[in-house]
Amino acid sequence: MTRTPSAPATLLPGDRWRWPETFAWLAVAACYVAFPDRSGLIAEILILALFAVSLDLILGYAGIVSLGHAAFFGLGAYTAGLLAAHGWSEPVTGLLATGLIVAFAGFVTSFLVLRGSDLTRLMVTLGIAMMLAEAAGKAAWLTGGTDGLMGIVVDPILGVFEFDIFGRTAAAYAAIVLFVLLVAARRLIASPFGMTLRGIKSNRLRMTAIGAPVNRYLVAIYTVAAGYAGIAGALLAQTTQFVSPEVLAFARSAEALLFVIIGGAGYLYGGIVGAVAFKLMQEWLSGLTAQYWQFWLGLGLVLLVLFVRGGLGGLAFAAMRRLKAARRPAAPAAAEERRA
Amino acid sequence: MLTVLLDGVAYGMLLFVLACGLSVTLGLMNFVNLAHGAIAMIGGYVTVVAMNRFGVPFLACLPLAFAASALVGLVLERTLYRRLYDRPHLEQVLFSIGLVFMAMSAVDFFFGASPQLITLPEWMRGRVEILGAGIGGYRLFVILVCAVIALGLQLVLARTRFGSQLRASVDDARVARGLGIRVGLVFAVTFAAGSGLAGLGAAIGADMLGMEPFFPIKYMIYFLIVVTVGGTKDLAGPFFASLLIGIGDVAGKYYVPEFGAFAIYTIMVAILIVRPQGLFGRAA
């Protein structure tokens, strides 16, 4: 499936802004204006979208599978919560500090996921997340145990915008943080560093052979992704002013995987689309069948894997490709035949 | 002390019977089936329903549980799983998590979220003295039955024609097919037997493990630990891993309850860091 890219595609910068992106962000702004009473939900979706972007960085671009990405999300939530509960109540610096701390945790644990097969990686990441979840539940003196961490006080953002009970500030705050981090991530993956990562994902052996510092790059992206997940967790702690061990639960890691897979791994926006689609579906289904919405979620997953490979993003790209092929039918068809 | 040890052994043996099917599908056939616990749950619920609604005796429920789980496993393998054998691990994970979600909701819908209880037969409720330590009759029964199953499995795998066919199919499916082994059939039978054993394990352990809709998620992690720590060389690896985890978990929860399951995850991560192929595994 190698397609020769056209000259303009290779010469233009990889992270140039495309029109659907403007449209997507306008849609976010429109939702914010149109549904003021659902701001809490909007904030939650944006936070989960950031978490999904973080997982996509390692899964979609570096090919590192993880069943325990909630470890960093939860670590971020607890770090931010503890900072705020012990006097560091300025949100923006708190967010940055949390990001750095969690990124460091990611750096330390990254060496554990370099070894072994995919299966070992799935198990090690799962094990680390479960360890943290157990620890958070048991260390009641620090985390408040299963009752959750109380007493989180968050100052107004930049001293001006106070967090309100409807989540208006929270949603705007989350949207801005997501936007800034997403722009940074686009830049990162369009860089030679990102290109090398994609090379590692498709053929690690060959990348090693041409002299790419494979392990160092994997450590780097894992560290960055951990920082992103930590910031997502910190956002959740700051906007809800509450942290419980649920932030570290297995369901969170599984959900993040679902977001990325639903939306399509390796598109950055895929995780965001997945988070939006998943959360809206959850809202709709749980309104419809109360506690049994999980059944339909499961069915959706099964069908997704069986029939729709590459997620919604994959579907969209396939449709676009077909559209382009229909516009210029002769050349690609001939190329296909020659290859066959 | 000895009582804790024996309890741990009973728990570990149970884990082995539950997880040995997974150790073949995941370890040997290289298919990540997180829905293994859901298939086991079917056997457990068949036992609960048969005993509580139809008054079937406990022992007669065990073959029923085996048959029900084996049948479901066979149907799933023939219709769905076989299409996913050569897909990436991640897709297998997602697919089987989807099945787990469906199974959990379905059980919740039909039986409610509360744990289902069974009444054990009279002769299992007493206590037996062994070497001065008391052990419940039920636990002793669990240990004995599971030991027989483990021995039987080892014999089937190592000594029978089917066992060699399975090992050949797993080592190199193409060559095995060339030698006239019907690989698809071998895999299907193996999958069904593994599912059946899981159902049997859940039925035997229904009183110890507790039958509730969360069963698949709650024990999935233990199953995975057994398989990844035990490695995939033969059944001895998962067997010792099960015992290690059973004893470790029971002892940990008994002596240092404030750590909970922390110990078991630490052990797993530590083992996987030192030996990524598992304690008794072969290099991939």
**Alpha-carbon gap, residue A255 to A312, rounded angstroms:** 16
Is B269's CB within 8 Å of A128's CB?
Answer: yes
Q: How far apart are CA A197 and CA A191, in angstroms?
A: 10
Whether residue B61 contacts residue B121, with contact meaning beta carbons closer than 8 Å, is answered with no
Q: What is the pLDDT along chain A (340 residues), one digit of tens a residue?
A: 445 556 555 555 666 777 777 787 888 888 887 787 788 888 889 999 999 999 999 988 888 888 889 999 999 999 999 988 887 878 888 899 999 999 999 999 888 888 777 777 888 888 888 888 888 888 777 777 777 787 777 777 777 777 777 778 888 889 999 999 998 998 898 888 888 888 888 888 888 888 888 889 999 999 999 999 999 999 999 888 888 888 888 878 888 888 888 887 778 888 888 888 888 888 887 777 666 777 877 887 788 788 776 666 667 777 777 777 776 654 444 444 444 4
Q: Cβ A65–B266 below 8 Å, yes or no?
A: no
Q: Reply yes or no on whether the pLDDT at B134 is more than 70.
A: no
In chain B, domain spans: 2-274
Q: Are the CB atoms for B58 and B120 separated by under 8 Å?
A: yes
Identify the pLDDT of residue A3. Answer: 54
Give the bridge partners for B128, in sequence order: B135
Largest pairwise CA distance in chain A = 70
User: ∠ CA A282-A288-A293 to the nearest 5 degrees?
Assistant: 45
The structural architecture, per CATH, of the domain B2-274 is Orthogonal Bundle (1.10)
The arithmetic mean of pLDDT across residues B17-33, rounded, is 80
**DSSP result, chain B:** -HHHHHHHHHHHHHHHHHHHHHIIIIIIS----TTHHHHHHHHHHHHHHHHHHH---HHHHHHHHHHHHHHHHHHHHHHTGGGGTTS-HHHHHHHHHHHHHHHHHHHHHHH-SSPB--PPPHHHHSEEEETTEEEEHHHHHHHHHHHHHHHHHHHHHHHSHHHHHHHHHHH-HHHHHHTT--HHHHHHHHHHHHHHHHHHHHHHTHHHH-B-TTHHHHHHHHHHHHHHHH-SSSSHHHHHHHHHHHHHHHHHHHH-GGGTTHHHHHHHHHHHHH-TT-TT----
Please tell me the distance in Å from B98's CA to the nearest CA on chain A: 4
Binary contact (A301, B269; C-beta < 8 A) = no
Q: What angle do CA A97, A103, A106 make, to 5 degrees?
A: 150
- What ipTM is given for this predicted complex? 0.76
Q: pLDDT, tens digit, for every residue of A73-84? A: 999 999 999 988
- Which residues of chain A lie closer than 8 angstroms to B272, CB-CB? 116, 120, 123-124, 127
Residues of chain A neighbouring B262 (CB-CB closer than 8 A): 131, 134-135, 138
Nearest to A119 among B84, B89, B94 (CB): B89
In B, what residues contact A, Cβ < 8 A? 26, 32, 80, 83-84, 87-91, 93-95, 97-106, 108-109, 217, 221, 224-225, 228, 258-262, 265-266, 268-269, 272-273, 276-277, 284
CA distance A282 to chain B (A): 13
Which pLDDT value is given to residue B233? 63
The pLDDT value given to residue B279: 66
Q: Chain A: give the shortest CA distance to residue B138, in Å.
A: 30
Q: Which residues of A touch B219 (CB under 8 A)?
A: none
- Across the A:B interface, residue pairs with CB atoms under 8 Å apart total 122
Q: Which of A65, A134, A294 sits opposite B101 (nearest CB)?
A: A294
Is the pLDDT at B263 greater than 80? The verdict is no
pLDDT digits (tens, 9 = 90+) for A129-155: 888 888 888 877 777 777 778 777 777
Answer yes or no: do B105 and A298 touch at CB < 8 A.
yes
Cβ contact, residue pair A302, B91, below 8 Å: no
Q: Do A112 and B93 touch (CB under 8 A)?
A: no
Chain-centroid distance, C-alpha B138? 19
Task: Determine, for residues B97 and A306 on separate chains, whether the beta-carbon distance falls below 8 Å.
Answer: no
What pLDDT does A97 receive?
93
- Is the Cβ pair B101, A65 closer than 8 Å? no
How many angstroms separate the CA of residue A265 from the nearest CA in chain B?
A: 11
| pLDDT of res. A309 | 67
Cα distance from B150 to chain A (closest Cα, Å)?
25
Residues of B in contact with A117 (CB under 8 A): 276, 284
Q: pLDDT by residue (tens digit) across B146-193? A: 889 888 888 888 888 888 888 888 878 888 888 888 888 888 888 898
Predicted pLDDT at A249: 82
Q: Please give the residue of chain B at the shortest CA–CA distance from A302.
A: B95
Q: What does the block give as tokens for A119?
A: 């299966």
Residue of B95, B225, B262 with shortest CB distance to A305: B95
Chain A partners within 8 Å of B282 (Cβ):
none
Which residue of A116, A134, A295 is in closest CB contact with B265? Answer: A134
